[in-house]
């Protein structure tokens, strides 16, 4: 038990679970304040998500829908955690997700490209967006958080302007891919049949998981990853050791941008959602990616589970009784969870000091016992 607690992974897991439990609890308390009558039911509805349906085939189909939206979230959280390992807080992830969406939809609807070129185009745009932040950071000393936010807004307005050209004439949404550009829809390879013929389930989901594993391997097992982590730990030491810290910063943000943009493409190329060209703020997907990255303990494998959890409760918010509460309570819960993630370091510290104190006590006891024995003689 004691040795188990000493392991870093176990500590991260405990901290994350604590954040989730506390987040749900605080969310429950907020609901109690608003209307005590339905609070318990509302929290259950959020946690149950697709289990709210009574029929098994509907459940499995909606489980598929949650997974469809988990794939882009996972990409966003990978983007955040990849950059964070290098000491960069990539808040531009929200905009990079949007630029990926913009790229793939425009290429599909205006130029009628097929799915793979659309994906690659989105990735390139995302990398370009990340590159701007990286260049500003490396050569202009501009804080990546501020420039990222500015790019988020620029991207949002640019996307609205560009996608207005390919929007449906009757609604503010872009045209359905299945009507105008079926060639750009991601292939399903029969995966949809596993989820009760859910036409939105595609290769996006396994692709995102494979990328999570690749990110882990790159960070932990390659020289490039080592250099990146070294730059993150101490920029000056890395520079002194002969690593190109400027190049590393730019490359990191490019990769982060590419990952997030791919996330946008992985969602919109399933035709599950259409872009609303009158959107007045960037979608929450990118910001939820930040939540998922930290909840997953900044570990790519952890991010798979935390992304699923965040998406699970976000979708679950739709099942809340609208006559009592707003569906935004799931946003509320996930933002409380991110807030609590700020305390993770403290929780780990508390576990460690607890362990050390326990050790000290045991040693003191042992010493006392030995001293006692000595006295007997």
Partner 1 sequence: MLLLLQYTLIFSSVLLLVALGGCFSEHSGVINLGLEGIMVIGALGGALMMRYLPADMPGLLMVLIVLLGAVVFGVAYSALLAVASINFKADQTIVGTALNMLGVAGATVLVKAINTAANPDDVSSIIQYVEPKKNFLVNLGGFEFNWFMLVAVIMLIVAYVVLYKTRFGLRLMACGEHPQAAASVGIDVLKMRWAGVLISGAYGGLGGICYILAGVSEWRFEYGVAGFGFLSLAVMIFGQWKPTRIALAALLFGLLRALSNVYAAFDFLKNLNIPGSIYNMMPYIICLVVLAFTSKKSRAPKAEGIPYDKGMR
The interface with partner 1 within residues 108-137 (CB under 8 A) comprises 136
Closest CB to partner 1 among residues 117, 172: 172
Q: Is 105 exposed, middle or buried (0-12, 13-18, 19+ CB in 10 A)?
A: buried
In this structure, the number of other CB atoms found within 10 A of the CB of residue 247 comes to 13
CA distance 97 to 104: 11
Transcribe 69-121 into DSSP letters.
HHHHHHHHHHHHHHHHHTT---TTHHHHHHHHHHHHHHHHHHS---HHHHHHH
309 counts as binding partner 1 under rule CB under 8 A: no
Q: How far is CA 294 from CA 34, 73, 339, in A?
A: 29, 13, 10
**For partner 1, the closer CB: 152 or 252:** 152
Q: Does 338 bind partner 1 (CB under 8 A)?
A: yes
Please report whether residue 343 would count as binding partner 1 according to CB under 8 A.
yes
Q: Does 346 bind partner 1 (CB under 8 A)?
A: yes
What is the rounded end-to-end Cα distance, in angstroms, of the chain? 36
Smallest gap from residue 2 Cβ to partner 1 (A) = 25
The verdict on 290 binding partner 1 (CB under 8 A) reads yes
Given 140, 190, 242, 374, the residue binding partner 1 (CB under 8 A): 140
- Could you count the other beta carbons within 10 Å of the beta carbon of residue 112? 12
CA pseudo-torsion sign 112, 118, 121, 126: positive
Quote the tokens at residue 129: 């967006």
Stretch that binds partner 1, among 29-37, 117-125, 193-201, 252-260 (CB under 8 A): 29-37
Rounded distance between C-alpha atoms, residue 341 and residue 18, angstroms: 9
Binding of residue 98 to partner 1 (CB under 8 A): no
**Which of these ranges, 46-54, 108-116, 223-231, 280-288, lies near partner 1 under the rule CB under 8 A?**
280-288
Integer-rounded Cα radius of gyration of the chain:
24
Identify the helix (H) or strand (E) that includes residue 168: none
DSSP 8-class letter at 186: P
CA gap 331, 355 in Å, rounded: 35
Q: Could you tell me if 186 and 202 are in contact, meaning their C-beta atoms sit under 8 angstroms apart?
A: yes
Binding-site member from 124, 207, 324, 351 for partner 1 (CB under 8 A): 324
Does 328 bind partner 1 (CB under 8 A)? Our answer is: yes
CB of 178 to partner 1, least distance (A): 28
Q: Which residues contact 151 (CB under 8 A, 6 or more apart)?
A: 92, 95, 129, 132, 133
Minimal distance, residue 158 CB to partner 1, in Å: 7
Counting contacts by CB under 8 A, is residue 18 touching partner 1?
Answer: no
Residues 141-170 as x/- pattern, contact with partner 1 by CB under 8 A: xxx-xxx-xxxxxx--xx-xx---------
Considering the rule CB under 8 A, would residue 325 count as an interface residue with partner 1? yes
Q: Provide the minimum distance between the beta carbon of 161 and partner 1 in the complex, in angstroms, as a whole number.
A: 4
* Contact between 334 and partner 1 per CB under 8 A: yes
Query: In this chain, which stretch among 10-18, 247-255, 325-333, 364-372 interacts with partner 1, using CB under 8 A?
Result: 325-333
* Minimum CB distance to partner 1, residue 55 (Å): 28
34 binds partner 1 (CB under 8 A): yes
Name the site residues for partner 1 (rule: CB under 8 A): 30, 34-35, 89, 91, 136, 140-143, 145-147, 149-154, 157-158, 160-161, 280-281, 284, 287, 290-291, 294, 322-326, 328-329, 331-332, 334-336, 338-339, 341-343, 345-346
């Amino acid at each position: 038990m004691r040795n188990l607690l000493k392991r870093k992974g176990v500590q991260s897991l405990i901290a994350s679970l604590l954040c989730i439990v506390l987040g749900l609890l605080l969310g429950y308390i907020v609901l109690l304040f608003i209307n005590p009558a339905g609070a318990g039911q509302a929290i259950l509805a959020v946690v149950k998500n697709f289990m709210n349906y009574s029929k098994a085939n509907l459940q499995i189909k909606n489980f598929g829908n949650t997974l469809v939206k988990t794939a882009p979230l996972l990409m966003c959280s990978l983007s955040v955690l990849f950059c964070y390992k290098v000491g960069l807080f990539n808040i531009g992830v929200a905009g990079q997700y949007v630029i990926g969406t913009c790229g793939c939809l425009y290429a599909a609807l205006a130029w009628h490209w097929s799915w793979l070129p659309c994906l690659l185009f989105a990735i390139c745009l995302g990398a370009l967006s990340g590159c701007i932040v990286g260049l500003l950071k490396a050569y202009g000393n501009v804080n990546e958080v501020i420039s990222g936010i500015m790019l988020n807004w620029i991207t949002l307005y640019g996307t609205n302007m560009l996608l207005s050209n390919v929007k449906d004439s009757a609604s503010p949404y872009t045209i359905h891919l299945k009507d105008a550009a079926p060639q750009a829809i991601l292939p399903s390879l029969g995966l949809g049949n596993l989820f009760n013929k859910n036409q939105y389930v595609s290769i996006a989901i396994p692709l995102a998981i494979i990328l999570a594993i690749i990110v882990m391997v790159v960070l932990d097992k390659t020289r490039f990853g080592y250099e990146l982590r070294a730059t993150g730990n101490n920029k000056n030491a890395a520079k002194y050791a002969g690593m190109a810290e400027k190049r590393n910063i730019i490359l990191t943000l490019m990769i982060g941008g590419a990952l997030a943009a791919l996330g946008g493409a992985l969602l919109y190329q399933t035709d599950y959602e259409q872009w609303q060209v009158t959107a007045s703020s960037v979608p929450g997907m990118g910001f939820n990616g930040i939540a998922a990255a930290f909840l997953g303990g900044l570990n790519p494998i952890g991010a798979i589970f935390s992304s699923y959890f965040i998406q699970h409760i976000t979708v679950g918010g739709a099942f809340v009784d609208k006559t009592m509460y707003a569906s935004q309570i799931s946003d509320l819960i996930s933002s409380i969870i991110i807030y609590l993630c700020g305390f993770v370091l403290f929780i780990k510290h508390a576990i460690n000091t607890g362990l050390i104190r326990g050790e000290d006590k045991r040693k003191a006891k042992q010493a006392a016992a030995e001293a006692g024995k000595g006295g007997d003689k």
